[in-house]
Amino acid sequence: ETGVTQSPTHLIKTRGQQVTLRCSSQSGHNTVSWYQQALGQGPQFIFQYYREEENGRGNFPPRFSGLQFPNYSSELNVNALELDDSALYLCASRPETGGEKLFFGSGTQLSVL
Amino acid sequence: GQNIDQPTEMTATEGAIVQINCTYQTSGFNGLFWYQQHAGEAPTFLSYNVLDGLEEKGRFSSFLSRSKGYSYLLLKELQMKDSASYLCAVVDSNYQLIWGAGTKLIIKP
């Protein structure tokens, strides 16, 4: 049990739609990062937030955006969905102190039809 | 560019020992993780190495050589539940995680 929860667990959308994925971290976990994992691949870094500000971004277009809230929850928003956006989306958090270990949520499986 | 290499798939027998290798070329190094991931589930933490040498934790051990850009995960007394993908990930100079594609480990009775 990592203390990180994601919702929903599964989601089906159609091309062109918008989606919001949610993550709730443990108290004191000020850093949250989001990853996209396609089938058979390792996770790809989307972006990271620290104390409600984005402080790192991977090679993803601007239609991928996020928010982090003071209550240790965060969102990943994807606009204008494309078929290739179908993947497992993982949220991971890290405490203010205590090293680099990431605590992962169980993910949201997004299917774009 | 940044690169993490792992074998795509390995097969081993229940009760045996298996070593999963990972080589990396990254811009900077601030540690290396091994995660286990069962199909359809999130990765779970196995080990973190930042200094050279062997870290042992029960049936699992992880080794790091920074000069060689090399790590391995050693699994002993294999159990059927160890069938999973094993992901190697390196923390780069920007403190971002660079992930390998994972090694799918198949355990046979």
Task: Give Cβ neighbours of residue B51 (< 8 Å, ≥ 6 apart).
Answer: B64
Residues B81-106: tens digit of each pLDDT: 999 999 999 988 877 888 999 999 99
pLDDT tens, position by position, B17-57 = 999 999 999 989 989 999 999 988 888 889 999 999 999 99
H/E element holding A32?
strand A31-37
Q: Which residue from B minimizes the CA distance to A106?
A: B42
**pLDDT of amino acid B54:** 96
Are A104 and B94 within 8 A, CB to CB? no
| Strand residue runs (E) in chain B | 3-5, 9-13, 18-25, 32-37, 44-49, 53-57, 60-65, 70-75, 84-91, 97-99, 103-108
| B89 to chain A: closest CA residue | A42
Task: Give the pLDDT score at A28.
Answer: 83
Question: Which of A42, A56, A88 comes nearest B99 by C-beta?
Answer: A42
Q: What are phi and psi of B81, to 5 degrees?
A: -70, -10
CA pseudo-torsion sign A104, B4, B90, A21? negative
Residue B64 has pLDDT above 70, yes or no: yes
B67-78 average pLDDT score: 97
Give the gap in angstroms from C-alpha A48 to the nearest C-alpha of chain B.
9
Residue pLDDT, tens place only, A6-24: 999 999 999 999 999 999 9
Q: Does A66 touch chain B (CB under 8 A)?
A: no
Q: Which residues of chain A have pLDDT under 70?
A: 1, 98-99
Read off the pLDDT of each residue in B72-87 and give the average, rounded to a whole number.
97
- DSSP code of B41? S
Contact A45 B98 (CB under 8 A): yes
Mutate to test the interface with B, among A4, A45, A54, A108 (most CBs of B within 10 A): A45
Q: Does A44 touch chain B (CB under 8 A)?
A: yes
| Structure-block tokens of residue A3 | 């203390």
Look at residues B84, B102, B76 and name the one whose alpha carbon lies nearest to residue B14: B76
Lowest mean pLDDT among A33-37, A102-106, B7-11, B69-73: A102-106
Are B96 and A109 a contacting pair at CB < 8 A?
A: no
Question: Tokens for B48?
Answer: 């973190």
* Beta-carbon separation of B87 and A42 below 8 A: yes
